[in-house]
Homo-oligomer: A and B are copies of this chain.
Amino acid sequence: MQNFQFYVPTKVIFGQGTVDQVGQLVAEQGCKKVLVHFGGRSAKASGLLDRVCASLQSAGVPYVTLGGVKPNPRLALVYEGLELCRKEGVDFLLAVGGGSVIDSAKAIAFGLANPDLDVWDLYDQRAAATACAPVGCVLTIAAAGSETSNSSVITKETPDGDLKRAYGSDLCRPRFAIMDPTLTYTLPDYQTACGCTDIMMHTMERFFAYEKDNDVTDNIAIGILRAVKKNALILVNDPKNYNARAQIMWAGSLSHNSLTGCGIVGRGDWATHQLEHELGGMFDVAHGAGLAAMWGSWARYVCDAQPARFAQFAREVMEVPATGDDMIDALAGIAAFENLMHELHMPTNLPELGVTATEQQIETLAYRCTYEHRRKIGYVKVLDESDIANIYRMANQVPDPLFT
């Protein structure tokens, strides 16, 4: 077991009817003025934004609002938010939405607390933050885990296609997270499934960075994965099942608040996420669907480096019967995971995702994925630009059903 730090100071307020506590929670932070940050129409149409604002008003907390956060949240809106916050004297960011809104709020919070930095330099790995303004959230999508995590992902639009980049620091863990599962009832089925996929991936990225004799973390990871698998399938047919929504929402936080990575080597594998980030930047695909489309190709490319671990995943998470041959079990587990994705109506390759990449696009994706040759990615296998391109090429083909 490796040494680790674990610091998750977010106060979680979980359950139906908890939204109206938001005014009191913000007031306890002792801030002067709040930016209520949100996405598009649904926060308004559902009445949630009105509830949040009414709660702030009755707690005597002044606020301004800024909507318009899109999936793959854009740097331009972060700059706009920063300007608004400076003009209005905002010192607390309240995100009302899913991972994109929370990530956008975290980026604004970094910008506010580090006025000498261009906030993009954090995401482009060219600078480190020394502080972060406080963030709170009212979660409406179970997926990214940003409500208790230390990470955020921002997309910069460029003439050559967009760049999607992540930055992590304990400084940006939210002060509180209101998590009411009923707020996710009205999500489109596709988005629910994307969220479930993202949640599983956050645990799997860590699980495959295998550390020997790390039973507590292993068992927690396996337990969370099994719970997500079971409840994601319930939601396919019964999207307003409260307990299933609640299990998925809580699993979303625990899968990305670092718990499932305690004691492992480094921070995890993360190659699948990094492969997806370039895809999301170039084609603006839904994050969870992009992960689903890439994982199988990544897994088949690397599993011979850790057949026992992939076999354990097959048996204990995917409930594939053991054959006694780890490599056979490993491949059966990958296929079983892809079957699960299909049951959730998720893609397992790029054509199913609605993307067919040209060879030149694949080379651009691979080049960008190395941050212009500044890094390799992955842990199970360390992947260079040529490996990365090979994985994109595998994902770019519809697999022959005879061989899967």
A250 interfacial by beta-carbon distance below 8 Å: yes
A325 interfacial by beta-carbon distance below 8 Å: no
The residues in A between 155 and 206 inclusive whose CB is less than 8 angstroms from any CB of B are none
Of A219-227, A275-283, A350-358, A377-385, the stretch lying at the interface with chain B is A219-227
Contacts of A213 in B (CB 8 A): 243-244, 247
Look across to chain B and name the residue whose beta carbon is closest to the beta carbon of A211. B243
Q: Mark A22-36, 1 if CB is under 8 A from B, else 0.
A: 000000000000000
Are A215 and B15 in contact (CB-based, < 8 A)? no
Q: Which 3 A-B pairs have the closest CB atoms?
A: A3-B15, A219-B223, A9-B9
Q: Mark A247-268, 1 if CB is under 8 A from B, else 0.
A: 1001100100000001100000
Look across to chain B and name the residue whose beta carbon is closest to the beta carbon of A170. B11
Contact among B8, B230, B246 with A8 in the assembled complex (CB-CB below 8 Å): B8
Q: What is the CB-to-nearest-CB distance from A374 to chain B, in angstroms, rounded to a whole number? A: 29
Are A216 and B247 in contact (CB-based, < 8 A)? yes
Q: What is the CB-to-nearest-CB distance from A65 to chain B, in angstroms, rounded to a whole number? A: 27
Q: What is the CB-to-nearest-CB distance from A280 to chain B, in angstroms, rounded to a whole number? A: 27
A13 interfacial by beta-carbon distance below 8 Å: yes
Chain A residues proximal to chain B, CB less than 8 Å: 1-18, 212-220, 222-224, 226-227, 230-231, 242-244, 246-247, 250-251, 254, 262-263
**Copies of this chain:** 2
Contacts of A12 in B (CB 8 A): 4-7
Contact among B3, B7, B15, B220 with A223 in the assembled complex (CB-CB below 8 Å): B220
Decide yes or no: A243 and B15 within 8 Å by CB, A223-B222, A223-B223 being known contacts.
no
A88 and B226 CA atoms in complex are apart in Å by 53
Contact among B6, B15, B18 with A14 in the assembled complex (CB-CB below 8 Å): B6
Are A231 and B247 in contact (CB-based, < 8 A)? no
Are B8 and A14 in contact (CB-based, < 8 A)? no
Are B215 and A219 in contact (CB-based, < 8 A)? no
Contacts of A214 in B (CB 8 A): 243, 247
Are A247 and B4 in contact (CB-based, < 8 A)? no
Look across to chain B and name the residue whose beta carbon is closest to the beta carbon of A222. B223
Contacts of A219 in B (CB 8 A): 220, 222-224, 226-227
Contact among B11, B212, B216, B251 with A250 in the assembled complex (CB-CB below 8 Å): B216
A250 and B13 CA atoms in complex are apart in Å by 24
Q: What is the CB-to-nearest-CB distance from A230 to chain B, in angstroms, rounded to a whole number? A: 6
Q: What is the CB-to-nearest-CB distance from A42 to chain B, in angstroms, rounded to a whole number? A: 23
Cβ contacts A to B, 18 pairs, < 8 Å: A1-B242, A1-B246, A1-B247, A3-B14, A3-B18, A4-B12, A7-B11, A8-B8, A14-B263, A213-B243, A214-B243, A215-B230, A215-B247, A216-B223, A216-B224, A219-B224, A220-B224, A220-B254
Q: What is the CB-to-nearest-CB distance from A199 to chain B, in angstroms, rounded to a whole number? A: 11
Contacts of A5 in B (CB 8 A): 11-14
Contact among B3, B10, B216, B227 with A17 in the assembled complex (CB-CB below 8 Å): B3
Are A215 and B242 in contact (CB-based, < 8 A)? no
Look across to chain B and name the residue whose beta carbon is closest to the beta carbon of A17. B3
Look across to chain B and name the residue whose beta carbon is closest to the beta carbon of A221. B223
Q: Which of A1, A8, A15, A16 has the most CB of B within 10 A?
A: A1
